[in-house]
Structure 1
Amino acid sequence: MKLKWECLDRKVVYENDWMTVLEDDVINPGGGRNQYGHVHFRNRAVAIVAMDDADHVWLVGQERYTLAEYSWELPMGGAPLDEEPLAAAQRELQEETGLTAVNWSELMKLHPSNSITDEVGYVFLATDLTEGATSFDEMEDLTVRRLPFKDAMHMVFDGEITDAMSAAALLRIHAVRTSSAR
């Protein structure tokens, strides 16, 4: 059975260069009428699992204002809608880690918080890496860390990596490796 929402009216509550906060007057799939607040993103998200020949990955650490805590994550950033996700991933990897990669493959497309936003995320695997200089943007104060993949997995399992895109990407690689090993 396919359920359908009906939007009767839409109000812009707030907007800036990155997002629009909306409040819709809706008829929900059960037939009831209510308000539904959600966020429209003006960018896509991209994240990168940069993996070297020694099975090490790169993480980026930073203070996240919304959480008021330090967060270890994959290198990631925003991709304007007119920029291809792969090009944005290549740019973000270089900016945040100084790395460039010869080989790229898309690991997954996901919706990080689909009950409240329309954000779309793309995760790429980057291999055959070359190190170079970082070029952080003015809002970033990042710590870059290279560590064995197994240690990154322990960080996911121990709750030290809580970013949804990072955890999903690392778990996907782990699952593929585990199922292939059987």
Structure 2
Amino acid sequence: MTENPWKTKAIQKIYENPWITVENHDIINPAGKDGIYGKVHFKNRAMAIIPIDEEGYTWLIGQFRYTLDEYSWEIPMGGGPIELDMLESAKRELKEETGLTAQKWTEILKIHTSNSVTDEVGYVYLAQDLKQGETEFEETEILQIKKLHFSEALEMVMNGEITDSISVAGILKAARIFGF
């Protein structure tokens, strides 16, 4: 069934900050019964980048994630305002976090990060023909940069060292593209 079986009766904004809005939806569910649904609306689109050089090396970013209360290894990523071009946002994010610029860009994945509670959409790009420059970290970022062969990043996904959903999906998709 591709037609929406949910009916929205009312939406109430519960909370808002510069990045998200939290809403309470009064709904009629697919069984025809009254119910509620919580939704987190993101004001940015997520974008992630897998930089890969001609020898098959890539870069990961390590950082402490406040919401998880743990350290996380990820592909370079960030948010881009919905009204801006996603590729331009991806180029900015790659430069900020790794210092890299790329001449070749390929979108390889569109992903819904948690479609049960949020409308967040993410995109993953391959960045190739790389040139190293200086990083431009944001004030909230204390990042480690790790250069490793792509096969090692894939192994980190497979053994549970990389758990971020966009990173996992992007690395697995890139592995399929490159035949790993």
Q: Report if TM-score (shorter chain) is over 0.5.
A: yes
Q: CA separation in 2, counterparts of 1:142 and 1:33?
A: 46
Deviations 1:73-124 (A, max 9, x none): 0100000012111000000000000000000010111111111100111110
Match of 2:117 in 1: 116
What residue ranges of structure 1 are gaps of 5+ in the alignment?
A: none
Q: Could you say what secondary structure the match of 1:52 adopts?
A: coil
SS of 2:90's partner is helix
CA–CA distance in structure 1, aligned partners of residues 31 and 157 of structure 2: 37
Letter in 2 for 1:68: D
Classify the secondary structure of the residue corresponding to 1:29: coil
Unaligned runs of 5+ in 2: none
Compute the displacement of 1:177 (Å): 3.3
Alignment-derived partner of residue 6 in structure 2? 5
In structure 2, the partner of 1:66 is: 67
Q: Distance in 1 between matches of 2:53 and 2:171?
A: 14
RMSD: 1.1
Superposed displacement of residue 40, structure 1: 0.6
Q: CA separation in 2, counterparts of 1:125 and 1:28?
A: 40
- 2:50 corresponds in structure 1 to 49
Task: Report the equivalent of 2:130.
Answer: 129
Displacement after TM superposition at 1:65 (Å): 0.5
Cα distance in 1 between the residues matched to 2:156 and 2:4: 38
Match of 1:18 in 2: 19
**TM-score where L is the length of structure 2:** 0.96
Residue type matched to 2:41 in 1? Answer: H
Alpha-carbon distance in 2 for matches of 1:32, 1:63: 42
TM-score (structure 1 length as normaliser): 0.95
How far is 1:28 from its partner?
A: 1.1
Q: Write the letter of the residue equivalent to 1:127.
A: Q
SS at match of 1:53: coil
> In 2, distance between residues paired with 1:93 and 1:83?
16
Q: Distance in 2 between matches of 1:50 and 1:5?
A: 40
Larger CA deviation: 56-65 vs 23-32: 23-32
Deviations 1:20-70 (A, max 9, x none): 000100011121211100101110001000000110111000000011000
**Shift in Å at residue 176 of structure 1?**
2.8
Give the number of aligned pairs. Answer: 179
Identity of aligned pairs, percent? 51
Structure 2 CA distance for aligned equivalents of residues 126 and 3 of structure 1? 37
